[in-house]
Chains A and B, each alone.
Chain A
């Protein structure tokens, strides 16, 4: 008894002496601004549990690793939990105090529940995480790039019209950014953002995997004679990271074998220059003519990413929960929000494909910044 009382007093003295007190912040409360489907996990492949009605108050428990899905609980009058599940961020009002850097991250649940996906090929696509881990091999690639004179804070983009779109990547150079609750991404944005201005010689409308090696497709005002667009861009910018997306054009006239063969060449060339290639699957609409071929090419891309152990953004899976899969009226190009700067305070990432892609790109840059660049510098 005296011993216990002594410990208690010692504890008070320890606290009064100025040692930090770890306090659990009370869960934030918010509400849906429109009816939202509540899922059993952070992805559209999880079971649908209920619909959260607009205006109903919920407590925010945790987030997924990106922050575009939140685990919420709705309680009844007696304080008992009556609804417990995951909602897309864009359906909720954002409390001003909401900062993802302070919100617990769920590391248990995967991005998809494969048990609900009947198609084998779709299950294989869902199985890839939305943001892949960064492999050890990429540290070596980065180190090679530094030896070759690449710029650690420069990123570029490679691809077709989806990537050429000035609303992709380039808004990161605009100082008017509004990250909203995604405060944890600010370091990466400030580090890489300025380099994204001005487009890319390796991103052009109608580009396909063959064309990226064809000098005839190079911008003659930027590139040297007989220089392919990919070489031209890498020579001009000497980036440390390249975001690469091909597929919507290839799906119209290329087989999966040819596509992966060409992607192999693109990845090899990028790695040889000490540039980290970040591959991305592409969103597709089931009503579109080339839907099945799009799935095939995306599956081929997963093989390429695995073969070279390079980072992958599974945009296809992440965009599944968006209206029209994040696509515009043509069912090919991603829908833009209309903002020319990054704006994540109003949930655009849950509505517009381009906003989602920018968010996932920035998240991947955050991973590369902390796991490769900062560690190499230290």
Chain B
């Protein structure tokens, strides 16, 4: 009887781990890593962090900042409660000739795929 209860508890515990996101890391960190990869035109990292819904946009995402030198200023991303939205502060600054172009960071959607948080576009 005791063995049965113990086994049931273990199963419940495992199921809880598999269904949640506690082992998937911080979604805000995933967003920060994605933005860093995107401005560095790091195709491999972009692919690893891009959600499956946006696979068709991979070339665009990987090449978007390929023509400019870009850096991050004051990036600070935090998950919006328990939602699938990560809000970021700070900006991307791209240098184009003598000019600086600012790209304010905004809110992004994240999804959990295969136990890993993926960036999935801007949040509406």
**B122 contacts A214, CB within 8 Å?**
no
**B61 contacts A208, CB within 8 Å?**
no
Residue B64 CB within 8 A of the other chain: yes
List of A residues within 8 angstroms of B101 by Cβ: 204-206
A249: contacting residue among B60, B67, B92, B99, CB under 8 A: B67
Nearest Cβ on chain A to B30's Cβ, whole angstroms: 16
Residue A102 CB within 8 A of the other chain: no
**A214 contacts B96, CB within 8 Å?**
no
Q: How does the 8 Å CB contact mask read for B90-101 relative to A, with 1 for contact and 0 for none?
A: 001010110101
Residue A216 CB within 8 A of the other chain: yes
**B104 contacts A225, CB within 8 Å?**
no
List of A residues within 8 angstroms of B104 by Cβ: 220
Residue A155 CB within 8 A of the other chain: no
List of A residues within 8 angstroms of B124 by Cβ: 224-226
Q: How distant is the Cα of A226 from the Cα of B122 in the complex, in angstroms?
A: 5
Q: Which chain B residues numbered 85 to 123 have a C-beta less than 8 Å away from chain A?
A: 92, 94, 96-97, 99, 101, 103-104, 106-107, 121-123
Q: Which chain B residues numbered 60 to 87 have a C-beta less than 8 Å away from chain A?
A: 60-61, 63-64, 66-68
Q: How distant is the Cα of A205 from the Cα of B98 in the complex, in angstroms?
A: 11
Q: How distant is the Cα of A206 from the Cα of B67 in the complex, in angstroms?
A: 7
Closest Cβ neighbor of B99 among chain A residues: A205
Q: How does the 8 Å CB contact mask read for A222-241 relative to B, with 1 for contact and 0 for none?
A: 00111000000000000000
Residue B59 CB within 8 A of the other chain: yes
**B97 contacts A214, CB within 8 Å?**
no
Q: How distant is the Cα of A236 from the Cα of B121 in the complex, in angstroms?
A: 22
Q: How distant is the Cα of A258 from the Cα of B17 in the complex, in angstroms?
A: 44
Q: How distant is the Cα of A215 from the Cα of B61 in the complex, in angstroms?
A: 10
**A217 contacts B96, CB within 8 Å?**
no
**B63 contacts A210, CB within 8 Å?**
yes
Binding site secondary structure of chain A: loop
List of A residues within 8 angstroms of B97 by Cβ: 330
Residue A213 CB within 8 A of the other chain: yes
A205: contacting residue among B38, B64, B96, B123, CB under 8 A: B96
Residue A281 CB within 8 A of the other chain: no
**A214 contacts B60, CB within 8 Å?**
yes
A220: contacting residue among B59, B106, B121, B123, CB under 8 A: B106
Nearest Cβ on chain A to B53's Cβ, whole angstroms: 12
> In this complex, which of A161, A213, A225, A330 has the most chain B Cβ atoms within 10 angstroms of its Cβ?
A225
Q: How distant is the Cα of A214 from the Cα of B121 in the complex, in angstroms?
A: 10
The tally of residues in A whose CB lies under 8 Å from a CB in B reads 23
Q: How distant is the Cα of A203 from the Cα of B59 in the complex, in angstroms?
A: 21
Nearest Cβ on chain A to B88's Cβ, whole angstroms: 11
Residue A253 CB within 8 A of the other chain: yes
Nearest Cβ on chain A to B91's Cβ, whole angstroms: 11
Nearest Cβ on chain A to B61's Cβ, whole angstroms: 7
Q: How distant is the Cα of A216 from the Cα of B92 in the complex, in angstroms?
A: 10
Closest Cβ neighbor of B92 among chain A residues: A216
Closest Cβ neighbor of B38 among chain A residues: A216
Residue A75 CB within 8 A of the other chain: no
Nearest Cβ on chain A to B101's Cβ, whole angstroms: 6
List of B residues within 8 angstroms of A216 by Cβ: 38, 64, 92, 103, 122
Q: How distant is the Cα of A220 from the Cα of B104 in the complex, in angstroms?
A: 8
B96: contacting residue among A161, A215, A224, CB under 8 A: A161
Q: Give 25 pairs: A residue, B residue, CB < 8 Å, sorted on A.
A: A161-B96, A205-B101, A206-B94, A206-B96, A210-B59, A210-B63, A211-B60, A211-B67, A214-B61, A214-B64, A215-B121, A216-B64, A216-B122, A217-B64, A217-B103, A225-B106, A225-B107, A225-B123, A226-B121, A226-B124, A252-B67, A253-B66, A254-B63, A258-B59, A330-B97
Q: Taking beta carbons and an 8 Å cutoff, which residues of B are in contact with A? A: 38, 57, 59-61, 63-64, 66-68, 92, 94, 96-97, 99, 101, 103-104, 106-107, 121-124
Given contacts A205-B96, A210-B60, A253-B67, 9 further A-B pairs with CB under 8 A are: A206-B68, A208-B63, A213-B60, A214-B61, A215-B122, A216-B103, A217-B103, A252-B67, A253-B66
Nearest 6 pairs of A and B residues by beta carbon: A226-B122, A206-B96, A210-B60, A210-B63, A214-B64, A225-B124
